[in-house]
Amino acid sequence: YYQEAGRAGRDGKLADCILYANLARKPSLLPSRRSEEMTKLAYIMLSDCFRYGMNTSCCRAKTLVEYFGEDFSHQKCLLCDVCTNGPPQRQNLKEEALIAVLHKRKETDVSSSMLIFQAHIYSMDSSYNDDIHFNSKDRRLGERPSLMTLVRSIREQVLIASIYDGHMQFQKFLTTDILWWRGLSRILEAKGYIREGDDKTNVQIKYPELTELGLEFVKSMNEETFYVYPEADMLLETKIDKPFSSFSEWGKGWADPEIRRQRLERMQQDRSPTKRKSPRKQKKRRGKKVKPDLRTSRGRLTAKLTKHK
């Protein structure tokens, strides 16, 4: 990709660079005999490349030129997809951001719509002893709270809210998919509100930890908004209807009246006569004609009989 983009810059000709990737899988390095220091450096470069691809709001030419230590004299190149298509619409992710940065703290001073997630915040703190243990498995293993643990707890709280909360406050949250929350964690990490708590270098943040700047962000978010440009994986997750990975996920969805209504409507549409495909007519298979062997008496007799027919 760097070579194609650079070639277009040197000879003045346009180059269409398309990157195909499975965003459901985290980027990783191929096996190699690198030293520990070289592996760490390679992961940092891979992370920079991945963030470059997920970016939706900054000119790609500007990012590339500045990455290699040069100054970009213009704000836009007017050629890359970001410049030609424009950035996506900004979204106010205040409540989602607060959930992401407060997942390890007991004390919260946020809006009332966050109350349904208080149990999750408390359960992530090992010093807090409560009857609600959504992450009892992680507690027993003594694991640090990871981003996956956060998303799993959010899903459980969404299910509880869908059953017991008549106002459906959980619908304020855009999604409970890990792909979307990974994108949000990158945004928060880039702004300095959270950092990687793991000793290893990861392409995407795995164990988010709140920073001092993040604490100031929390204190100032009671009345303010948090408008950001969603990244590519966040946009992809909200646009594509993914099939349910298991029967349990399908069953959880029926607790939500809106999801139940949508599923019933789709089932009725699939059963409607207009959408039914007409059954394919089966063609009669004709057997292959085998020429009789004239070297045998049976073959010569067969040839004479077929000729009379």
Assess whether 13 and 123 both reside in one domain.
Answer: no
pLDDT for 87: 93
Instruction: Pinpoint the alpha helices (H) of 55-177.
Output: 60-67, 81-85, 94-101, 118-123, 136-141, 147-164
Q: β-strand 194-196 against 227-228: which pairing, if any?
A: unpaired
In terms of domains, do 174 and 39 share one?
no
pTM exceeding the 0.85 threshold for the entire prediction: no
Q: Does residue 198 share a domain with residue 104?
A: yes
- For the chain (309 residues), the mean pLDDT of every run of 10, in chain order, is 59 73 85 88 91 92 87 85 93 85 50 37 38 39 72 75 54 70 92 88 87 85 83 84 48 64 74 58 65 81 75
The two structure tokens encoding residue 172: 């304020």
Query: Is the residue at 47 inside a domain?
Result: yes
Among the candidates 240, 261, 282, a domain finishes at 240
CB-CB neighbours of 147 under 10 Å: 20
Pair (112, 222) in one structural domain: yes
d(CA 77, CA 75): 7
For residue 108, the model assigns a pLDDT of: 38
Judge whether 307 lies within some domain: no
- Using left for φ > 0, alpha for ψ between -120 and 50, and beta otherwise, residue 69 falls in left
One domain for residues 116 and 229:
yes
For tokens 């209504």, the residue is 261
Residue in the structure block whose two tokens are 């106002």: 167
Structural domain boundaries enclosing 61: 2-85
Residues 247, 225 share a domain: no
Q: What is the pLDDT of residue 173?
A: 56
